[in-house]
Structure 1
C-alpha cells in the first residue's frame, strides 16, 4: 500500500528549493507483478496529466528545475539521492518508490545500483529547464520563475485524491 511523507527545505543559496511547496516522497507507489514497471509508471503519470516522460538514471550533481515540477518513479534498481541541497535529506529509494519534486528543489544521485532506471515526467504544458547548483544565475529571476510555476491539476500517482491536493496549495 502506498504511503507518503512530505519534506520542506529551506533556501540553501545556490539551491533555492521551494518556499511554498513540500517535496512528496511516495513509498511503494507502484507495485507491479510484471517486469515492465517503467511502462506502468509512464501510463500512470500520463493518466493524471503528467507527460514529457523519459527513462534514464539520475544526474550525480546538484540541480533543480525553475520552470517545472518533476516526478521521478524508480522503475528498477536502487538509488540514494540527496534532496534539498547539501543541508537537505539523503534518501534511499527502491523500485516502486517515487518522489514529487517541486520546482526549485535540488536533487542529485549519491549512489545507485547498476540496474537503476528512473522514469521522469512533468505536468502537461510545463517545459523544464536544468539549473546546476554551480551555475552563475540571476538568483532573483530564478526565484521569481519558481514562484510562477503553476500547480498541476492532479497528483501524478493518485490523481485528484492524492497528497498533492492537500499539501500543494497557494497561500
Structure 2
C-alpha cells in the first residue's frame, strides 16, 4: 500500500509547508501539491495525477476535507474516483477514512458542511461589498488591463490574437473589451 499525500492552497501567496509537513509525518511516500482554487476540479492537475496513479490498496491522504474541494458533489466524486481504483481516502483533521462504512457517512456530512461554509463566506463577502459601496468606500477591483490601449491597438490594425499576446491576456478578454461586453464597462 502506498500513501500519497495531496496538499492544496487557493492562492499563490499561501504556503504549503504546514500541509506537506503533516503529510510527511503521516508517512506519505509521495506528496503532490498545487496552488489552485478548490471551488471545482477544473485546473487541478495534481489531483488528477494522483487519482490516475492510484493502485488497488493505495490511500490518498489530505490534511482536511476542504483540500479535496469546497463542493459536496466534487468531494464525493473524488472519493468515488479513488474507490473505482480500489483505493481509499484518509482525512487527518478530523481523522476519517473511507476504508469503513462509517467513514463514507462522515465524509458526506463534512463535504456538505464545507460547501455550506463556502456559501456563507461568499454571502458575507457580498454583504461587506454592498455595505462598503453604500458608504462610498468600495470602488471595485483594480483593473488589470488598459482598455484604452486595447482599443487603440485594434484601431491600429492588430488582430485580437496579436493584441492578446502583446497585452499578456486572453483573446476572450480582448474580445470583451472591444465588443463592450466587459462586465466592468457595463
Question: Which has the bigger relative contact order, CA under 8 A and spacing at least 6?
Answer: 1
> Shared fold (TM-score greater than 0.5)?
no
More helix by share: 2
Query: What TM-score, normalized to structure 1?
Result: 0.29
More strand by share: 1
TM-score (norm 2): 0.27
